[in-house]
Amino acid sequence: MSEGSLEAPTRHNIPWKEKDYLDPKKIDNELRRVFDVCHGCRRCFNLCDSFPRLFDLIDDSDSEELDTVESKDFKPIVDACTFCDMCFMTKCPYVPPHEFDLDFPHLMLRYRAMEFDQGKVAYTAKQITKTDRNGSLASPFASLVNWSTRRQNKITRSTIEKVAKIHRDAELPKFTNAPLTKRTPLKPASEPKRKVALYATCFGNYNNPSIGDAMRAVLAKNNVEVELVYPACCGMPQLEQGDLKGVAESAKNVASELVNWIKKGYEIVALIPSCALMLKFEWPLVLPDDENVKLLSQNTFDAAEYIVHLAKNGELSKEMVALDGSISLQLACHSRAQNMGPKAAEMLRLIPETRVEVVERCSGHGGSWGIMKENFEVALKIGRPAARKALESKAKYIVSECPLAREHIIQGIEKLNENNPENFSKVVQHPIQILALAYGIK
């Protein structure tokens, strides 16, 4: 048997169409096999709440081994997984190609797919995943929706908590009445050298289009022609709930449109790292035989990854000025899971005379996981080290490649810093907005 962590991790295709994939007994057997290995290792104790729950469950059993743990008690362990992939990518010594063949996040996905197939996913949880529908409905009434979801609005938030099980104190994304895809195109500064189809993502389109505006402006400054494209959501919300059929449908529909841009000479850039991860890595595992998905995965860049790509090719303008303060950058888990290195940090370090403090800890948010009533306090606990490091940096700009993670870190800072005034920028969420400021783009 070989030592672990000596080779790059590899992932198997997700056999979600096979009959055995959803077999409860086979899932239970695999859970016990994997949990027994995790119990003997425990390197992941500080990543998320799944592992402390698992280890406490075993330690509190009669034999202090898995043989006296009931299968029904596994569910809280599964529920605590946020699919951040950090156990698979950074900690576990037993991932493929090791003989133990562990993929903890995808085993949790398999369990949730079984629950989804059995009709155990709550109606409200399914509705939260419908981001395109929710965004298109909320957009015309953005002011009213944003007023009702403000944390300070105690009446509406208590109602939302009762109906949707979303914690009344969780910061929720705002909606815009001017989606990104409806905004005026920007022309490159001169004759374009490259062409990009910017995948707006549901968050970039309906919640914070200013991130997309910053990306478009930076690319235009660097003579890149940009077309905004948004066929539909990437399916990450459905993945979190175990709806693999829904993920596959999203992958087919979006890939079939985006490959047309590739064939016209455009490079695909995804605005948000969770979506880039889906296009580059998760979709090919769900639909390994789909040629459009394969082509798209090979031609997709994360936003920061693309800027660094331009810089390394000598195509990035150096007309940047130092900022009026330092930067605290949280490397989003779904960026790290792309195996591309800390591209956002590389990008921000291109700005002259600017200090960049990197935070390599999970925010604890985990998509919709961290806003739910039963998870919110745990999510803040998981994100506390990231919030503490950002606070201690005394940076003017606190950003993350994942805007939702950034807002969760800000909430963590509020908890740690209750008696002191906030001295960081409230407007800037994403590293690309920092780069835009350095270029003098407002």
Q: Give pTM, 2 decimals.
A: 0.93
CA distance 413 to 330: 13
What is the reported pLDDT for 6?
67
Q: Are 226 and 219 in contact (CB under 8 A)?
A: yes
Count CB neighbours of 125 within 10 A: 16
pLDDT at site 405: 93
Asked whether 407 and 429 are in contact (CB, 8 A), the reply is yes
DSSP state of 348: H
Strand partners, 330: 359, 400
Q: Which of 205, 196, 265 is nearest to 230 (CA)?
A: 205
pLDDT tens-digit profile, the chain (442 residues): 555 556 778 899 999 999 999 999 999 999 999 999 999 999 988 888 999 999 999 999 999 999 999 999 999 999 999 998 989 988 899 999 999 999 999 999 999 999 999 999 999 999 999 999 999 999 999 999 999 999 999 999 999 999 999 999 999 999 999 999 998 888 777 788 899 999 999 999 999 999 999 999 999 999 999 999 999 999 999 999 999 999 999 999 999 999 999 999 999 999 999 999 999 999 999 999 999 999 999 999 999 999 999 999 999 999 999 998 999 999 999 999 998 999 999 999 999 999 999 999 989 888 889 999 999 999 999 999 999 999 999 999 999 999 999 999 999 998 887 656 567 777 789 999 999 999 999 7
Helices (H), 167-282: 202-206, 209-221, 236-241, 244-263, 273-277
Q: Is 165 left (phi over 0), alpha (psi -120 to 50) or beta?
A: left
Cis-peptide, bond into residue 9, ω within 30° of zero: no
